[in-house]
Structure 1
Amino acid sequence: MSDYRNSLDTPMATRRRRFRINADAVGAMAENVARFFGTGEYLFWQTIFVITWIVLNLGAWKWQWDPYPFILLNLAFSTQAAYAAPLILLAQNRQEDRDRVALSEDRRRAAQTKADTEFLARELASVRLALGDSVTRDYLRREMEELSGLLERIEAKLDDESAARIAREHGEHGGHQSSEFHEPTQGDVVDTHHRPHN
């Protein structure tokens, strides 16, 4: 039988923390310190401090608080390095977290942009297909001109057929073909099967 403390449905007793540290505030301070350590201003003032320390301890014979080999100065630099290294690491960790979030956001935006581009490409292809099947103004005008010419030829052929029929009827009743009736020549298309015989 497993211990009740490891059961998922049993809440574990939480310990109250006496001191709560604001991680964001500590991280912001660490970034500021690390940023300051990486400037020329810090190196300048640290150099002035070290030179002043050494000169005062070498020149003041009565008040040498840190005589050669400057053990107190070395201890101060060791303490500074002991705090500076974790602060720099903390600043780097925060920067890595920001870079990770920015990279995730960039990937999300890239995926969204790719999806939008593919959607626009599909829409453009469908529009091109629709425009390929649609009738343009020039095409419609050309088709209308061809249709108008075809109708004119058909009307001319019908007129010629009517004239030929009247000529045949007149020839049968009058015994001869009148001089005012002749072979149809108005249309572009002439049917040879209905041409009147002499």
Structure 2
Amino acid sequence: MPEEREGGKERSRANGASALRRSAPERPRVRLDLPRAPRRTFWPEYDPDAFGRLSERIARFLGTGRFIVWMTVIIILWIAWNIAAPRVLKFDEYPFIFLTLALSLQASYAAPLILLAQNRQDDRDRVTHEQDRSQNERSIADTEYLTREIAALRLGLGEVATRDWIRSELADMVRDLDLRQPAEAEGGERDR
């Protein structure tokens, strides 16, 4: 067997390929334009969004007064039943170990579900804040642009003749003409 390997290495060197490459099975080429085939796993598959929505609904219910009222009623009935019922019908004697276990189990599931719902809300808030920030940046850029445009218009209007300026110039010209006419009339009479 080692002799066969040596012979295989010799042949592969002669062909210009490494021995490792020849001995390894060739993999099919991976196409990037096609989705991967789903792999079979031992773990059950679930939709994270559906699970997140369910956890949000549960967390929303756990944070209501209705839940507290129902929980209080159930605990009072549980304790009353196990104190007042005949011994044969009692299912959780005085230290109420089963009740403690049930409440601990409920709390152990409620806490992660509430945290999951809070994480999803944080993700939504982060996206909303990013969108608001980009909208604010666009608004600031638009405002700065409009401010520059208005400043340019003001500078341009400083060079444009306004109605009042034209009126004052015309009034000055009329005054100059009124002053020149009597002087020209006197000068014209002297020449005659």
TM-score above 0.5: yes
Question: CA offsets per residue over residues 145-189 of structure 1, 9 Å max, x none?
Answer: 2112212333333332222222xxxxxxxxxxxxxxxxxxxxxxx
Relative CO higher for 1 or 2, CA cutoff 8 Å, sep ≥ 6?
Answer: 2
Q: Does 1:163 align with 2:189?
A: yes
Q: Report what 1:102 is aligned to.
A: 128
Q: Give 1:104 deviation, angstroms.
A: 0.5
The reply on whether 1:15 has 2:39 as its aligned counterpart is yes
3-state SS of paired residue (1:103):
helix
Aligned equivalents of 1:113, 1:16: Cα separation in 2: 50
- 2:45 aligns to what SS in structure 1? coil
Give 1:46's aligned residue: 71
Helix, strand or coil at the partner of 1:67: coil
Alpha-carbon offset, residue 13 of structure 1: 8.3
What CA distance in whole angstroms lies between the structure 2 residues aligned with 1:156 and 1:19? 111
Extract unaligned runs of 5+ from structure 1.
1-8, 167-198
Once the two structures are TM-superposed, the CA of residue 70 in structure 1 deviates from its matched residue by 1.5
Query: If the length of structure 2 is used for normalisation, what is the TM-score?
Result: 0.74
Deviation of 1:144 (Å): 0.7
Give the distance between the partners of 2:59 and 2:188, measured in 1 at CA.
107
1:127 Cα deviation from its structure 2 partner: 1.9
Match of 1:24 in 2: 49
* Matches of 1:113 and 1:74, distance apart in 2: 57
State the alpha-carbon separation in 1 of the partners of residues 64 and 179 from structure 2: 95
Question: How far apart are the structure 1 equivalents of 2:46 and 2:182?
Answer: 103
In terms of Rg, which structure is larger? 1
Task: Specify which of 70, 84, 94 is matched with residue 110 of structure 2.
Answer: 84
Deviation at residue 111 of structure 1 after TM alignment: 0.5
Q: Which amino acid aligns with 1:31?
A: E
State the match for 1:153 in structure 2.
179
> Unpaired segments of 5 or more residues in structure 2?
1-28
Q: CA deviation at 1:14?
A: 6.1
Structure-2 separation of matches of 1:72 and 1:152:
115
Aligned length: 161
Tell me how far apart the structure 2 counterparts of residues 49 and 119 of structure 1 sit (CA, whole Å): 65
Q: Tell me the alpha carbon deviations over residues 82-134 of structure 1, each in whole angstroms, 9 at most, x when there is no partner.
A: 21111011001001101101110111111111111111211221222222222
What is the 5 A alignment of 1:120-131?
Answer: 120-131=146-157
Query: Partner of 1:63 in structure 2?
Result: 89
| TM-score, scaled to structure 1 | 0.72
Higher share in helix: 2
RMSD: 2.5
| Distance of aligned partners of 1:22 and 1:14 in 2 relative to their CA distance in 1, 3 Å threshold | closer
